[in-house]
Amino acid sequence: MATDKNAELFERARALIPGGVNSPVRAFRAVGGTPRFIERAQGAYFWDADGQRYIDYIGSWGPMILGHGHPRVVEAVQQAVRDGFSFGAPTEREIELAEEIARHLPSVEMVRLVSSGTEAAMSAIRLARGATGRNRIIKFEGCYHGHADALLVKAGSGLATFGHPTSAGVPAEVVQHTLVLEYNNIAQLEEAFATHGADLACVIIEAIAGNMNFVRASVPFMQRCRELCTQHGALLVFDEVMTGFRVGLTGAQGVYARALPGFAPDMTVLGKVIGGGMPLAAFGGPRTLMEKLAPLGPVYQAGTLSGNPVATACGLATLREIAQPGFYEALGQKTRALVDGLQAAAAESGVAFSGDCEGGMFGFFLLPQLPHNYAQVMRSDAARFGKLFHGLLDRGVYIAPALYEAGFVSSAHSDDDIARTVQAAREVFRTLA
């Protein structure tokens, strides 16, 4: 009788690793069942420990915009490894990566490289506080900015999956300066600035939130965020860890700049795609702001592995590939074909469904209309989603094992991959009707 190697590995993992995983959402707690332990990946697919192949729509939670094992990225990483894993000293490639980021994001004049999105967001907020001399910050319910203490207040993603509004181990005094507002609520935003405007260091936001699945900030809401920050001297921080170079070459800020000419955030937090799958993130903004960082200014931030030469090689090769003409047009068409196909398949069976996408990022809800804030997202049918997830998994399609996570399409996904995914969903939707 064949053994289930995934189950065996999960049992071993639980004996040594909390929950058997090193990041909570991987544990399948929201959908039930046994996590798949991945052995290898190539293109749009990965294979688990039992040799089962899946069409991959998580893409390492966003970074693998070129798919797995892109030859030019692999070549760049192999060369970097031959030259050395880590030096603890500057390299030319760090400059090249910073130049590539600044070339595509007009709001970014200077960049500081770090190793994770959490580190980048945490450092951006420290810089905002140091630059303004203020303590209070605004975040929005359902937006996740990493697991720094001050930001674990009504976050989305894994915390939404487990139903916790915050995290144990976070002292009340640490979050006392964090104001949590409802996403897309202009009246509440105006009230917060009227009451606390003189004390606000920054507003940090996922402009296209990917940690309560896929929820856009409305254009009027974003415009008001910009206006109020400018009026009160607070900084507008765009968390583009997920959306940066994923929804377009100019990120989510580029999406809003098309609707609001001249629009730009004061600071941008990046991750995922800029590392191409390696641990790498960044934050950046105008020169006058970024020069307040040590060693030039009084705001301290440091990291032993920041600008790691192997990670920068991977990220730089990725950014150069996605900057090729027509890349995002083709990627966006594939993603739209997937979402439209899923919508049509659900409609055939009378299953409530709504979906949205931008560039290579998408999300869907088992709801008749797209939600606009965290409370509306939470009305989704978790039990029905669990059945959909496992139905797709059984048919070789791997989507996020959680109701509150966005999905990702890569340039490696073929039209046939999209068609097979839609057909698999059609079969599962029939069982949910």
Q: What domains can be seen in the chain, in order of their start residue? A: 5-69+325-432 (3.90.1150.10), 71-322 (3.40.640.10)
Least confident of 142-146, 283-287, 319-323: 142-146
- 328 counts as catalytic: no
Contact 251, 239 (CB under 8 A): no
From the list 45, 154, 256, 272, the catalytic residue is: 272
pLDDT band, very low/low/confident/very high, at 163 (cuts 50, 70, 90): very low
From the list 48, 56, 239, 356, the catalytic residue is: 239
- Which amino acid makes up residue 253? Q
Whole-number pLDDT of residue 173: 74
- 139 counts as catalytic: no
Which tens digit of pLDDT belongs to each residue from 36-59?
Answer: 999 999 999 999 999 999 999 999
Least confident of 164-173, 231-240, 274-283: 164-173
Contact 203, 138 (CB under 8 A): yes
Whether the pLDDT of residue 160 is over 80: the answer is no
Q: How far is the C-alpha of 223 from the C-alpha of 220, rounded, in Å? A: 5
Whole-number pLDDT of residue 161: 40
Give DSSP secondary structure letters for 350-404: T---EEEEETTEEEEESSSS---SHHHHTTS-HHHHHHHHHHHHHTTEE--SSTT
- 5 counts as catalytic: no
- Tell me the mean pLDDT in the region 113-129: 97
Whole-number pLDDT of residue 433: 83
From the list 144, 183, 256, 328, the catalytic residue is: 144
Calculate the CA dihedral of residues 376, 382, 387, 392 and round it to 10 degrees.
50
Which tens digit of pLDDT belongs to each residue from 349-408?
Answer: 999 999 999 999 999 999 999 999 999 999 998 999 999 999 999 999 999 999 889 999
Whole-number pLDDT of residue 175: 78
Q: How far is the C-alpha of 128 from the C-alpha of 24, rounded, in Å? A: 29
- Is the pTM here over 0.85, yes or no? yes
